Structure 1
Amino acid sequence: MTPKRPTIPVKIGFEEVSVRLPIEAIFPLREVTAAVRNSIKYGQIAASIAEVGIIEPPVVTRDRQDRTRFHLLDGHLRIAIMRERGENDVICLVALDDEAFTYNKRVSRIATIQEHRMILNAVKKGVSEERLARALNVNIANIRIKRNLLVGICPEAAALLGDKHVPIHVFTELRFLKPLRQIEAVQAMIAMNRYSVSYAKSLVAATQEGDLVEGRPRRPRGLTEDEIAVMQRESENIDREFKLVAENYGADHLDLVLAVGYVNRLLGNARVVRHLAHRHADILSEFQKLTELQEAA
């Protein structure tokens, strides 16, 4: 009988309710320099806050000694701009992990679909397209494209891309595919870690006729029927290989986590480290590389 694998509890990363905090109680972890204040990005964020306020709350953590003090983990530019504007308080998310390095490692910058949802929320609250365009320093056409980003995209494909940085025109290519093929194409992008428009076009070109919606794009110039057939076969091979990897990924990843945890415990024992250093220096070196790679992942 195969023993059950141990379950790993999921730790909540934030307090369940956001809080409104006095800005004077928030202490940044780094200084916003004069060069940053003069940058285009800083000006765009300042314009956005002036037009529609803060959409994405800053993230703070409570001070261990003084629970009325908070250390700023994410949102240094937003807080600096709020200070300049003379604001007194701001709504924040409170992280339960107070290590800024760990936090920044786990939280990525705003993804394409997240930006789309922010725009939808702003429009729902009554913010006009013209005002959003001024806030984000783009033209109205760009706002409308982002607003309609997921039109024609199946929910499963959208969920897979929820935290990815994807060029807007990739979604244009995905709309030429039927829902099941959209999911397969997105899974291929994730497996290859490639989200370029050219790669999306190649996936569309390698799709069989039955998986394309009406109004599909014309065949790319210079490709013959035989070349299209080759691309389709290669795409099918990639799909099969991806599914095989996906079937074993969860178990393999858990095995890796458990193995690295065990190696970390070994390296935390001074007697073991001394023994390996004297008798098996090559093994010690590999163990150290393994833990370093896992920390950097």
Structure 2
Amino acid sequence: MIAPVPTRPFSLAFEPDLVNVSLASLLPVKALRPTVKISQKYTQIAASVREIGLVESPVVARDRRMPGFFLLLDGHLRVEVLKDLERTEVECLVSTDDEALTYNRRINRLSVVQERAMIVRAMERGVSADKIAAALCVRPESVRRRVRMLDGICDEAVSLLRDKQCPIAVFETMQKMRPIRQIETAELMVGANNYTVNYANAILAMTPQSGLVDGGTRKTVKGVTPETLARMDRELAKLQEAVTSIEETYGRDNLELTVVRGYLSKLLGNGRVVRYLVQNRPEFLDEFQAIADIKAPLTIEAAA
């Protein structure tokens, strides 16, 4: 008979129900900058709250020294917007831990592709572009631009850049390319960990006419001759081939390095081995020590 697995006790990170809290009883754990109310982020939050209400509840913790008061752990800008709108209460998520960390650091920011998907879904449900623009504090044309940005972009390229922080202009540049070149461009950007508009324009400038959509023209770069562009294109292709080759073996090489590093660290902890190396193979000792001193192998993103 199999013995039951003992269960470990656990505690909830938050109270199960939202709590209505008076704004006057909130104690901020950090001070806002005097210029925060003229920032774009504050303006966007204020517009969103006015148009659709509070989407994400502030996070608070009960003040153990002052009953009836709460430490405001996250949501300082939202609370400040509510004060400006002359609200007196807010629904809060109550943390059982009063550690004043920033919860937003644990949230992955939406990429422009993911943001577009949400906008398209909202418009399919009948929300107008004007209302979405008001909620995001942008112009209606900016919303329509987001909706159009994937027109003509192949699914493979979109998949590669789905979770990357690419500006809209990057996709507008890729719209001038044929699908195969779009995929190559996305792979180059991922390999180089570079998602800037300038990098996309540089790739467009090096794209041969056969890689452009009908009627498309190569982007001209002032002071750069066609011969220079051709050489840059060849060098970029070689670089991409090298990066792809490294990515294919990186995981295995990283594992082998970790095992070797651990073995050498243990080996160098043996005094007899170290004395032998000093007397007979001092050059080996230097190399072994250098490998053992490696703190941690880099990730592909960090190496890039």
TM range (shorter): 0.5 to 0.7
Tell me, in whole angstroms, the C-alpha distance in 2 between the residues paired with 1:160 and 1:128. 30
Does the C-alpha gap of structure 1 residues 236 and 43 become closer, same or farther in structure 2, counting only changes over 3 Å? closer
SS, match of residue 123 in structure 1: helix
Tell me, in whole angstroms, the C-alpha distance in 1 between the residues paired with 2:111 and 2:221. 32
Unmatched runs of 5 consecutive residues or more in structure 1: 1-14, 64-69, 267-271, 273-279
The answer as to whether partners of 2:61 and 2:72 remain within 8 angstroms in 1 is: no
Deviations 1:233-252 (A, max 9, x none): 12321221122122123334
Kindly indicate whether residue 18 of structure 2 is the aligned counterpart of residue 21 of structure 1: yes
* Residue of structure 1 in register with 2:30 after alignment: 31
Report the Cα offset of residue 286 of structure 1.
Answer: 8.6
The answer as to whether partners of 1:23 and 1:79 remain within 8 angstroms in 2 is: no
Tell me, in whole angstroms, the C-alpha distance in 2 between the residues paired with 1:102 and 1:175. 37
Tell me, in whole angstroms, the C-alpha distance in 1 between the residues paired with 2:81 and 2:259. 44
* Residue of structure 2 in register with 1:290 after alignment: 295
Letter in 1 for 2:91: D
Unmatched runs of 5 consecutive residues or more in structure 2: 1-11, 63-69, 270-284
SS, match of residue 116 in structure 2: helix
Matches within 5 A, 1:1-297: 21-22=18-19, 24=21, 30-31=29-30, 33=32, 35=34, 38-40=37-39, 41-54=41-54, 57=56, 75-78=75-78, 81=81, 85-86=87-88, 88-89=90-91, 100=101, 104=105, 107-222=107-222, 223-254=224-255, 290=295
Deviations 1:204-256 (A, max 9, x none): 12223333221323441554442332132123212211221221233345556
The answer as to whether partners of 1:24 and 1:88 remain within 8 angstroms in 2 is: yes
The answer as to whether partners of 1:153 and 1:175 remain within 8 angstroms in 2 is: yes
Tell me, in whole angstroms, the C-alpha distance in 1 between the residues paired with 2:226 and 2:205. 11
Deviations 1:241-272 (A, max 9, x none): 12212212333455567789x69xx9xxxxx8
The answer as to whether partners of 1:116 and 1:146 remain within 8 angstroms in 2 is: yes
The answer as to whether partners of 1:20 and 1:89 remain within 8 angstroms in 2 is: no
Tell me, in whole angstroms, the C-alpha distance in 2 between the residues paired with 1:164 and 1:21. 33
The answer as to whether partners of 2:74 and 2:103 remain within 8 angstroms in 1 is: no
Tell me, in whole angstroms, the C-alpha distance in 2 between the residues paired with 1:186 and 1:21. 43
Letter in 2 for 1:143: V
Identity across aligned pairs (percent)? 32
The answer as to whether partners of 1:59 and 1:74 remain within 8 angstroms in 2 is: yes
Report the Cα offset of residue 288 of structure 1.
Answer: 7.7
Tell me, in whole angstroms, the C-alpha distance in 2 between the residues paired with 1:256 and 1:102. 35
The answer as to whether partners of 2:176 and 2:212 remain within 8 angstroms in 1 is: yes
The answer as to whether partners of 2:191 and 2:243 remain within 8 angstroms in 1 is: yes
Tell me, in whole angstroms, the C-alpha distance in 2 between the residues paired with 1:259 and 1:24. 57
Structure of higher CA gyration radius: 2
Does the C-alpha gap of structure 1 residues 52 and 167 become closer, same or farther in structure 2, counting only changes over 3 Å? same
Report the more deviating stretch, 27-36 or 131-140: 27-36
Q: How many residues align?
A: 252
Report the more deviating stretch, 165-174 or 210-219: 210-219
Does the C-alpha gap of structure 1 residues 128 and 189 become closer, same or farther in structure 2, counting only changes over 3 Å? same
Does the C-alpha gap of structure 1 residues 62 and 38 become closer, same or farther in structure 2, counting only changes over 3 Å? closer
TM-score between the two structures when normalised by the length of structure 1? 0.63
The answer as to whether partners of 1:47 and 1:134 remain within 8 angstroms in 2 is: yes
